[in-house]
Amino acid sequence: MTLPSTRGVDVAASTELGTRLRVQVPLASHADPITGDRADPVEILAAQIPSRLPELIPLRHERMLVTPFTFFRGAAAVMAADLAPSPTTGITVQLCGDAHLSNFGMFASPERRLVFDVNDFDETFPGPWEWDVKRLVASLVVAGRQNGYDDKQVHKIAVRAVRRYQEAMRGFAGATNMAVWYARLDVEEFRAQVADYLDKQATKRFDKSLAKARSRDHLRSFNRLTEVVAGRRRFVADPPLLVPVSDLVGAEAQPEVYEGLRHLVYDYAGGLLPGERELVRSYEFKDMARKVVGVGSVGTRCWIVLMLGRDDNDPLLLQVKEAQASVLAAHLGHPEPRDEGQRVVAGQRIMQAATDIFLGSQHVTGFDGRPRDFYIRQLQDWKGSAQVETMVPRVMRIYGEVCAWTLARAHARSGDRIAIAAYLGDDDTFAEAVAHYGEAYADLNVEDHARFGRAVAEDTYLGQGQPA
């Protein structure tokens, strides 16, 4: 499945398409989470083992099993399989592919403004816009129930999120192409808009989150993750979460490995825009370490790179993360061959309103001699995320609406926003249907979490597949 080709906007034709689709794919049909036989979720997750580092698989299981929500976060492949037979309008957008509420967050724009946007694109892929909406809503239901909200509160949160997506898409349908492209959520402006809706405690938490996000920059990471050993700046070992490359290869191989890594960074910089390319190349490679990140990503190869500029007070930290095939690809079809790192970079640039200037990709041959795709970005730059576990219902409702607006804006950049808006209409039918979908899927997720836990405990899961 690919995005539509470049063309002018025909408002009347797109409106007519959306209206016709309301008959062909009734809005209420989106309520059913499963149509037909369902694939075994444990088998789907087991199939991911061979491509991951075997020594990190137990840690991935540990993180997924903490709660139904952490399981949901790590089970994007399971939900992709469940979404595959679901009804869709056939309108394609660039999908996040894993649009749960913890994959949105704050970060610095190139203009040094704090913005809110989708911030994880490992699974990005062209596909039905409905899939991202349903994953977001299901995540709100799973998280709301985990926080102890009652059914009425959870349902209201889900409905309001979908309604906000509808309203936002309608607004983008009436906007110019340029206005859609430049739309973004500035966090400071948003705080002023919602100030009257938050009590003192929520406002205090909001301001604390902003301050924390601004403190999470490259200098903080530099001071926390590195140290000087024998006059040389290097990463601090904290296995298995952080393992310097010098601890992974023998002493005899280190000079050759470090020289190869220097070339890797130089080659990666060659794919950046002029100016940004020269900026990266003005830094000198110093060290590299393997780092464990996230929940679902645990076991994939992720590295952080330390580079220094004019002195020890001028660091640049890059994250080099393995890009495997999107969990959506098997269900949507894809051209072969393709570079998965380029897929992630392209998806992020299409969906995000402000993108890291260091974002790039590289095809690399690993220490084991196997070629792999990676994407590179700055490690941390004013990065902040919501504390889902501490949200009261009202705050989660507002947060869900913000995520929904952001998702609509991201979809409007690549898909037929006019047709989507016409299809959604302005009543509650679609919102109620997707809220019911999210509630039913949350029930399935609880069952899958328990089943996965039993499989891990009984060791009927770990042994499947051969590590690669």
Could you check whether the bond before residue 240 is cis, i.e. omega within 30 degrees of 0? yes
Residue range 253-262: average pLDDT? 78
Q: Output the pLDDT for position 8.
A: 66
Angstrom distance (rounded) from CA 13 to CA 17? 6
User: How large a percentage of the chain has pLDDT more than 90?
Assistant: 67
Angstrom distance (rounded) from CA 139 to CA 132? 11
**315-322 and 371-378 strand pairing:** antiparallel
Who's near 150: CB < 8 A, 6+ residues apart?
A: none
DSSP 237: P
User: Per-residue pLDDT for 211 more than 60?
Assistant: yes
Task: Please list the residues that pair with 238 across neighbouring strands.
Answer: 242
Residue range 22-26: average pLDDT? 97
User: Per-residue pLDDT for 462 more than 70?
Assistant: no
pLDDT in tens, 281-310: 999 999 999 999 888 889 898 999 999 999
Burial letters 293-312, b for 16+ CB under 10 A, else e = ebbbbbbbbbbbbbbbeeee
DSSP strands (E only) in 208-283: 226-229, 232-235, 242-244
Q: Which of 73-82, 242-251, 457-466 has the lowest mean pLDDT?
A: 457-466
Q: Output the pLDDT for position 213.
A: 59
Angstrom distance (rounded) from CA 78 to CA 5? 30
Q: Output the pLDDT for position 367.
A: 65
User: Per-residue pLDDT for 71 more than 90?
Assistant: yes
Residue range 236-252: average pLDDT? 87
Q: What is the residue extent of each domain of the chain? A: 11-212+385-457, 218-378
The per-type count for the chain, helices as H runs and strands as E runs, is 18, 13
Q: Output the pLDDT for position 467.
A: 36
Residue range 446-457: average pLDDT? 95
pLDDT in tens, 391-404: 999 989 999 999 99
Q: Return the SS3 of 239.
A: coil
- Compute the mean pLDDT over every residue in the chain, rounded to the nearest whole number: 88
User: Per-residue pLDDT for 424 more than 90?
Assistant: yes
pTM of this prediction? 0.91
User: Per-residue pLDDT for 468 more than 50?
Assistant: no
The closest of 339, 338, 284 to 316, measured between CA atoms, is 284
Which residue is it, tokens 């590195």? 226
**What's the pLDDT band for 466 if we cut at 50, 70, 90?**
very low
pLDDT in tens, 76-125: 999 999 999 999 999 999 999 999 999 998 877 776 778 899 999 999 99
Who's near 332: CB < 8 A, 6+ residues apart?
A: 1, 125, 126, 127
